[in-house]
Each structure stands twice: as structure tokens, then as C-alpha cells.
Structure 1
Amino acid sequence: MTISHPPPLRTRVKRASWALVAGFSLTALSGCETMGEMNPDTLGTLIGGSAGALVGSQVGGGSGRLVATGVGTIAGALIGREIARHLSRSGQQEMVDANQRALETGQPQSWEDPETGARGQTKVTQRSTQRREVPVSVKRDRVDEMPPIDLIGSSYRATASSNVRGGPSTEYRSVGSLAAGQSVHVVGKVEGRDWYLIAEEGAADGFVATRLLTPAPQQPQSPPVTGGEGEVMLVQAERTCSVNTTRVTEPDGSVAEDRIRICEGPDGYVIEEA
């Protein structure tokens, strides 16, 4: 069976302002070490990454609270790393922006700290796709089949009035509808089929044909589908992980380098130890 991959990363990177990394709070992140086993850099990543996710999740109100979680996680994790201490606040923003551009384009990004004169380069040094089981909250009274998916975890917008189906085919019953222009959270794309698995009110609740949805990263989306109102299922999913490497050269010639691993998840990006 031919596998159809999700849209390029550039269509799914969620942009946000510097306000996303204004505070720090420690929460659990999937795939990382326990507190007792963490080295200081790992702890910094968790604090920063969790803070970004927390602050990002507060952007907007109601169903739009998670509009910036993906970028908040990335930005917070970067600020939590040792390498950020070599930069001014403006330089840290440049580093965050460079990491976003590197994810979007796959190309190395050069940048400079406008206050200290430190120069940086960020590039994607590894990119891999892997299959794993991921927990997804599912409304079982609406979803008749749960096939393998390619993770996306981002907001999309309906381009026309759309039926929501209980499975990835018009042969499945209609379980709802979307109005033209309505925003919805896309958990992922069904492997080998032109259908998206969507979520509303924090749980996967049906499938919509891909031709009827278009990426809208800055539009409101539903609460997390890893802990929403529904039955938690382990879903076979394919996800892409990228390792971003950042190298900073200070005016005195000293060099600092660090890596961060950014993976797709049902709700957006998650940070794992590189």
C-alpha cells in the first residue's frame, strides 16, 4: 500500500510571539527522563519546554487556548537550554525564529544577536520518520474505525461545507458536519487515504476528506486530544522527528553548541532529549 505523507512541515509550524516564553512551569513531557535521572540540561529543557507549552496554551480563550502550544513548546525548551545563556533576550528570539525557519525549510539558518554581536547558525542535522502507538482520546460513539495515521497535530479550516464521517470513506455514516470557514484540529492524515482524522472538544470525533480542509496554523483549535473527553485508545501513528543543532560563536571566538529533538504529536510538537 502506498503511504501518503502529511503536508510539509512548513504548513504545520505554529508561529507565536516572544510572550510565549515569559514564564516557566514544570510538567511531564512524553518520552523524557524521570526527575531523578535528569542532568541539569535535561531539566532546563523540561522546564523551558513545559513553560512554553503552558504559556502557549493560554493564548486565546475557550477552544482556542492551544493555538500556540507547538511553538510555545519549542521556544520554551530552547530558552531552558544552557546555550540561551550566551544570548541577550533579542538574541534568544533570533534563535527561536531560526529554529522555526529551519523546521519549515529544512535549510540552515544564520542569524545574529543584535545586542551582543554573537553569531549563530541553526540547521536540521537529522530527520527521521517512525511508527509508534500514541494515546488519543476518541469518541467511540462517532468513530467506527481507527486506522493508522500520519501525525499532524495542527489547526485546519474547512474550505466548504463538509460531512464528518465515522470512518475514512463516504461509505461510512455521517456523524456531523463542518461549516465553510470553520476551524478544527487535525490529529493526522489516514495512511494511504485522502482523509483527515479531526478532533473537537478534546477528542477525535470523525474523518473529513483532505480536499475539504486547508492548514490554518493560527486559527483556534480544540483542547488536547491526548487527554480530552473520550475513550483513550493507542493509535498506530507515523511521526516525523527532527534534530535541530544550534551553534553560537561569541565575539571573543568562543563557541557553544546544542541540539534539540522536536517531534510531531497529536496536539502539536513535543520536545524529546536529543
Structure 2
Amino acid sequence: MTRMRRFTVGAITAAILSTTGCAGMSENQYFNQENMGSLLGAVAGVAIGSQVGGGSGRTVAMILGGVAGGALGKMIGKNLDERDQQALALRTQQMLNQGANHAVSWQSDHSDAQATITPVKSTIKNETVKVQRTEAVQTVANMKLINQTYIAKKSANVRNAPNNTASKVGGLALGSSFTAIGRTDNDWIMVGRKGVTVGYVYAPLVGPKPAAVTQVTQVADVATDLDAMDDVVAKQQGFDLDSIQESQISAQTSCKTLEYKVTAKGKSNSEQVEACQSADGAWELI
């Protein structure tokens, strides 16, 4: 599968200017609402993506926002304005991040545009992905991608390999939050800090951060978040990122087929696209 690469707002803006020029843009074959919808949707997607993610290590939402913005902009650029493309892309990434398996609706806040996004099918695909880890952490042969915010349900040791006899590299206090990069075959979670695996924790001791406010999440609000942790404090706790290595791992990644039914400007259309989760957790529409 060919993956769309990361990009910045500046890079895409430069691409728009280079293809259109400063004058005569209306005559340029590339400067039409559909293609500009794709480019502007991608740019806007990066910006709105930051509304969903949190923490310096959680750039997943920003990447997803850009990819979803570009794909959706190309599909429906003729009927939606830039603001609606942004909003629909944001709704898409919220649904995928939340793991919804039912239809969700979207309504523009300034036009007559509306849409229904329906997950049609879920599949699992095997891919070889690149995963970063600290030098002390051992690699694994395979895993299932997660890339979600997890919290510690009780205090737990973080080890350099996914087993109870492995060396301890750090610890998680009750309510500590981190990015779970993946799950190993023997039920250990890869603990991430700023996208780098810093150790493994036994899966039953941690879990996805609940959306609802509970006693555990209230503790998590004031507990240490590994992504936001100061580098000096991180080093003291065994989670420094001074030496990083990269390994290729066989990974199971989730894919969803999504059906869009969009109504705007008196016109309706529908289309199915596939969204797959990449190694960094970004949901990409392909």
C-alpha cells in the first residue's frame, strides 16, 4: 500500500503558489474548485487536526486531519466550501479515533451541507512498519498497532522486554497517561513517549483512557503524562530519548471502509473510501 507522506502547511501553500503563479490563476488548468478543494482541504486539515490531538508526542490527529482533508476535498470539492471540508474532515477523524462502528452525522454550521458517514466494513491487514525505540528496549517480531492514549489502572513496572523477567526501565503511577503504540502477541503494551517505544507494560494493568470523567481520569489529569513530561524528569524516571534506534516490525493494522452520503447546494452524492491506520497511528483515507 502506498502511504501519503507527512507535509506542512507551508509546503502545500508553496505548492499551490508554484502551480498557479501570481497572475492568470483562473486560466491555469490546476486552479479549479475541485483541485483547490483538495489542496486547501489538506492545509486546513492540518490546522484543525490540532483541535483533536493533545501532547507534543500526539501528532496523529494533525496527520490525519491533513490526509482526510485532502482526500475529502478531492471527492466533494465541487459541492462544499473550504470551511465545510474542514468540518467534515474533523468529524471523520473524531469518528475513527473513537472507534465508532455506527453511522455518524455531520451538519454544517453555516450552509445547507450535511453528511452521514457510515462504517461499512472492518478488516485487518499485515504490514511491515518502522518503529522507533530507545537503545535499552528490545524489539519484538510482531505486534498490533494501537496508538491510543492509555492510562495506568494501578501502579505498574515498565520493562525493556515484554515479559516479567525483563529489566525494569521505569514505572507508571496510578492514572499516568501515555501513548500505547502497540500490543504484542503475549499481551504486553508498548509504552510510547513522543512516538518512541520506551518500554513494555503488562496489558491488564493499563487501558484506554475513558472519555467520561471518572475517579481514575481525575487522577490522570494531575498525574504525569509521558508525552508532556519534562526531559530532565523523564531521564530521572528512565524514559529519556537520548539514544533512539529504528526497527522494522510486522504489524497488524486496522482498516475501515467508510461510506459518505453528502448533500450540499441541492445536490447529493455518495462514495466509499477505505481508511487504514498507519504505523504512527494516523488514519489515512486511501
- 1:128 aligned residue: 123
3-state DSSP class of the match of 1:266?
A: coil
Cα root mean square deviation, aligned: 4.0
Question: What CA distance in whole angstroms lies between the structure 1 residues aligned with 2:189 and 2:172?
Answer: 13
**Cα separation, 2, equivalents of 1:111 and 1:61:** 23
Q: Give the one of 104, 111, 132 matched to 1:109.
A: 104
Structure 1 segments unaligned to the other structure (5+ residues): 1-22, 28-39
Structure 2 vs 1, CA of residues 212 and 59 (structure 1 numbering), >3 Å: closer, same or farther?
Answer: same
Higher helix share: 2
Structure 2 CA distance for partners of 1:99 and 1:140, relative to 1, 3 Å: closer
Aligned-residue offset at 1:179: 2.1
* CA distance, structure 2, for counterparts of residue 81 and residue 111 of structure 1: 18
Shift of 1:207: 0.5
Normalised TM-score (structure 2): 0.65
- CA shift for structure 1 position 69: 3.2
Change (3 A) 1:243 1:222: farther
Of 148, 170, 178 in structure 2, the residue corresponding to residue 176 of structure 1 is 170
**Match for residue 230 of structure 1 among 233, 238, 244:** 244
CA contact (8 A) 1:48 1:77 kept: yes
Match of 1:255 in 2: 268
Of the three residues 159, 164, 169, the one matched with 2:153 is 159
Distance 1:68 1:110, change over 3 A: closer
Mapping 1:1-274, distance limit 5 Å: 24-26=9-11, 48-49=41-42, 52-53=45-46, 56=49, 63=56, 66=59, 68-69=61-62, 72-73=65-66, 76-77=69-70, 80-87=73-80, 89=83, 93=87, 96-97=90-91, 100-101=94-95, 104-141=99-136, 143-191=137-185, 193-216=186-209, 222=227, 230-250=244-264, 252=266, 254-273=267-286
**Which one-letter code corresponds to 1:197 in the other structure?**
M
Task: Tell me which residue corresponds to 2:5.
Answer: none
Contact kept, 8 Å, 1:245 with 1:257, in 2: the verdict is yes
Structure 2: how far apart are the matches of 1:151 and 1:43? 33
**CA distance 1:265–1:234, change in 2 (3 Å):** same
In 2, the alpha carbon distance for the partners of 1:90 and 1:205 equals: 39
1:112 to partner: Cα distance: 3.6
Q: Distance in 1 between matches of 2:180 and 2:257?
A: 24
Name the amino acid aligned to 2:259: T
Higher relative CO (Cα under 8 Å, sequence separation at least 6) belongs to 1
**Residues 200-238 of structure 1: CA distance to partner in whole angstroms, max 9, x if unpaired?**
244212100112222238986649xxxx96111111100
Number of equivalences = 235
CA contact (8 A) 1:244 1:261 kept: yes
C-alpha change, 1:72 and 1:135, in structure 2 (3 Å) is same
Identical aligned residues as a percent: 27
Instruction: Report deviation, 1:75.
Output: 5.2
Between the aligned partners of 1:221 and 1:174, the Cα distance in structure 2 is: 17
DSSP-derived class of the 2:99 partner: helix
What CA distance in whole angstroms lies between the structure 2 residues aligned with 1:229 and 1:155?
24
Greater Cα shift, 73-82 or 259-268: 73-82
TM-score (norm 1): 0.67
SS in structure 1 at match of 2:197: strand
In 2, are the aligned partners of 1:198 and 1:206 still within 8 Å (CA)? yes
